[in-house]
Chain A
């Protein structure tokens, strides 16, 4: 009885809808869609309109809220009139789905001091970690045991970075030297590179689609400059000086621009052929702690994707370019910066010097910001014990994930952008689901603070390391 009257009230059982993609272009014209249509039927519709060969998954949003129920139920709940045309924005989701990890498969000891940084190689087959005992260790993922111990640094190893083709591993230490390692043999490649006068705060490689094979990388240091190095020539190519205080993070963008964030509250953009300053982005009131680019994940993984195929060198560049363009889309690259002044800024650096949006809400300093692999979400970890989720395109606040009882140090995304991982001072890791915006899994087990987390690009494993000197591998 109830159903009949409500249906009669709605009239024709259909509603006028207009499907648009995230950038605003309409898919066909407005059409009548039955009100019993849910996300599944809409997916089929979109696939048919786009003439996709395979059924790709899509998620639908009506005025920034995700549509999880049939259209009719949504209209009823929100009292939207049937007369007006309903705009439904569709977004493609990743074709593969990552299983959330829920158990610690192995606790590997080996380091003699706290583990400071961990990183999976871009193909997800190798794992490297740097620690306070001055060694870099490579671990075998099949047997989950130590593989190589790389000695060569004189002080704590603060950062490591894999080249996007997976052939080089570079690590920076507290004494300002950089060591290049051969990951297959675990040996030092040549001598440590000197040049920086104080400790290294960050390392970033040149993207594969700009130059293959990978040769150049940029490092940032506390002494205020960033240096571009060539790994085959083993020397500094260009020194980018200009910051007055320590440079806290550096990122090599997909359009060939280097972004550096510093404690002097500014972000500088440099061009890479001559090392000239292009632009300076001002706005923050305190140290810039962390930078993130919307295409960062794709730049890090290069030509590797979820299928796990290997490509010969000349094809690598093409494939990497293809993946980069797919993620970037038509809009310009976006940059988000997190600072000690408790706020973040969303910039479109190639468009304008002014920030696009200021993201406020955190109650303590923002330690780490990270774009999701598809560029749709921004996650920020802060010392106020919360992780906040923002819309990656507009910068609008979506939700705050609360649950940690200590400052959150680092976040990491799964390769399909559906799960978010956070590691904190309270020794736990937590996995948050983006669709339901709740806690998916709690991963306790570390005995002390968790300093570094990473999710492998193939989605199989999560690694975390911290003050208790052990590396923990988590599996689904």
Chain B
């Protein structure tokens, strides 16, 4: 590395070699071949670095060429017609693209009659009775064992009053009573917190259905009036079925998926 300007000084004093221009021209011409030979014969990390650099240069060159090409023939870009046409007053507003949410009540009624449901969770793990209930000892000597306390989440309607404590066999603790469920619409992929109207069916047995126990796989009925659904006949839909998808006693909340 020259330190100082003695090289330039010599150049100024004595000029360059007589064949300097020719040599320079020929060297530059050979440089292309030398570069390609280097790129082809280098191995290891060096080869990789050279390849990477060459590729970046190639991509950049392609882009500039394309840019130049574009300006020479100016055409109005053909905008394609998109799906989901909306009127002018809705274009600037972000509306979630939605699937049709209307359901056919006649179909639903027929399904209800048949008692068959196409549900997201067709099979659930059966819950044993000793898992569901805990034995409560009562009596002066704590020997009577006919009372049971439910250990899973329950729903008791709004007008619920307990039986007299001396006679109630099944205790549903208020800490495990829920009124609202987080219901997800399967197509819209959005979740709403909706009130529960009632328990339709618990797959573990009719006894649990009548007690109002909610375990995974239970079909519940929720209040959907805030979704603003309307039947084809023009009536407003305010109750729909949903299936519980989590274990509410472990999570402290009820997650369900709406059955459309």
A residues near B, CB below 8 A? 113-114, 116-117, 131-134, 154-156, 158-159, 174-175, 199-202, 222, 246, 248, 263, 289-290, 367-368, 385, 405-406, 409, 425-428, 442-445, 447-448, 451-452
Contacts and interface: CB of A to CB of B under 8 A. Distances in A.
A444 B233 contact: yes
Contacts of A368: 89
A391 B234 CA distance: 30
B81 A448 contact: no
A448 B100 contact: yes
Contacts of B88: 116, 158-159, 199-202, 248
Contacts of B83: 113
B188 interface: no
Contacts of A425: 228
A427 B236 CA distance: 11
B89 A427 contact: no
Contact of B102 (A134, A202, A447): A447
Interface of B: 78-79, 81, 83-92, 100, 102, 225, 228-236
Across the A-B interface, give the 8 residue pairs with the lowest CB-CB distance, nearest first: A132-B85, A444-B234, A405-B228, A158-B88, A114-B85, A116-B87, A201-B88, A406-B228
Contacts of A154: 78-79, 81
B96 to A, nearest CB: 12
A25 B205 CA distance: 80
Given A405-B228, A405-B230, A367 B89 contact: yes
Contacts of B92: 222, 246, 263
11 contacts: A114-B86, A116-B87, A132-B86, A201-B88, A222-B91, A248-B88, A426-B230, A427-B230, A442-B234, A447-B102, A448-B100
Contacts of B230: 405-406, 426-428, 444
Contacts of B228: 385, 405-406, 425-426
A297 to B, nearest CB: 20
A158 B232 contact: no
A289 B87 CA distance: 13
B232 to A, nearest CB: 7
A156 B100 contact: no
Given A248-B88, A405-B228, A448-B102, 12 more contacts: A117-B87, A132-B85, A154-B78, A174-B79, A175-B79, A201-B88, A367-B89, A405-B229, A405-B236, A427-B102, A444-B231, A444-B234
Contacts of A405: 225, 228-230, 236
A74 to B, nearest CB: 37
B44 to A, nearest CB: 56
A425 B96 CA distance: 13
A123 to B, nearest CB: 25
Contacts of A134: 81
Contacts of B84: 114, 132
Contacts of A114: 84-86
B234 A409 contact: no
A249 to B, nearest CB: 9
Among B86, B87, B92, B228: residue with most chain A CB under 10 A: B87
A113 B79 CA distance: 17
B81 A155 contact: yes
B182 to A, nearest CB: 22
Nearest to A406: B228
A452 B232 contact: no
A260 to B, nearest CB: 14
